[in-house]
């Protein structure tokens, strides 16, 4: 008997391989249709006042936009933000576009704690049905410049795939000495709250 009870696959409005693997491992059938939105323009319009709120706003907009082009299909949008707290406020990081940017991010995060917020939203026909967020706190050990270069060499193009330049499920684990929070949230999806919602909605078997 199937775990997924809906008559259509879930539409994943994300290119993230980590999110896809998490959902597929949970026996959720997927169709991938990434959302084509200008994230910076959405943020400029909505003006979220924190990284946590920004993740929620972007997840909702991705789900809503893709659901408008997929009548009758349930769409999952998701986003993740990284923020470093300081006395002067919150510093946010984006995916590094180059090795130099990845190096700068790792140097800035070295020896400090930061927060990863993962958000998701489920939409149907342009209406957002639910929005979920969760935050994990990660403490990066002090990184010497020589190690950073070794890490960048070993990680290669993968440093461009994730905010902060790391994937905790891979080489990124070498960067940390303490992690507090849900593993799935760190990978990019508040999976357990999402599954709870899908069960309540009778889309996943109880």
Enzyme catalytic residues: 79
Structure tokens at 155: 């990680």
Q: What gap in Å lies between CA 79 and CA 137, rounded to an integer?
A: 17
Q: 182: which residues sit within 8 A by CB, 6+ positions away?
A: 134, 136, 190, 191, 192
Residues 144 and 134: beta-carbon distance below 8 Å: no
* Chain-centre distance for alpha carbon 79: 4
The separation between the first and the last C-alpha atoms of the chain, rounded to the nearest angstrom, is 12
* Chain-centre distance for alpha carbon 27: 20
* Chain-centre distance for alpha carbon 199: 22
Q: Are strands 113-124 and 30-32 parallel, antiparallel or unpaired?
A: unpaired
Q: What gap in Å lies between CA 30 and CA 70, rounded to an integer?
A: 13
Structure tokens at 72: 């009758």
Of the candidates 134, 123, 135, 133, the residue with the CA atom closest to the CA atom of residue 60 = 123
């Amino acid at each position: 008997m199937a775990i997924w009870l809906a008559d259509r696959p879930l539409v994943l409005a994300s290119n993230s391989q980590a999110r896809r693997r998490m959902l597929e491992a949970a026996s959720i059938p997927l169709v991938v249709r990434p959302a084509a939105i200008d994230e910076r323009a959405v943020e400029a319009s909505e003006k979220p006042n924190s990284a946590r709120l920004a993740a929620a706003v972007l997840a909702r907009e991705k789900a809503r936009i893709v659901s408008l082009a997929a009548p009758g299909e349930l769409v999952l949008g998701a986003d993740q933000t990284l923020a470093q707290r300081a006395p002067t406020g919150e510093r946010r990081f984006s995916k590094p576009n180059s090795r130099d940017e990845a190096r700068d991010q790792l140097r800035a995060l070295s020896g400090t704690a930061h927060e990863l917020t993962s958000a998701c939203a489920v939409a149907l026909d342009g209406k957002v049905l639910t929005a979920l967020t969760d935050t994990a706190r990660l403490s990066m050990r002090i990184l010497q410049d020589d190690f950073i270069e070794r890490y960048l060499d070993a990680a290669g193009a993968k440093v461009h795939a994730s905010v902060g330049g790391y994937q905790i499920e891979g080489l990124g684990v070498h960067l940390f000495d303490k992690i507090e929070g849900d593993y799935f949230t760190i990978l990019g999806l508040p999976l357990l709250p999402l599954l709870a919602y899908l069960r309540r909605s009778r889309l996943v078997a109880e």
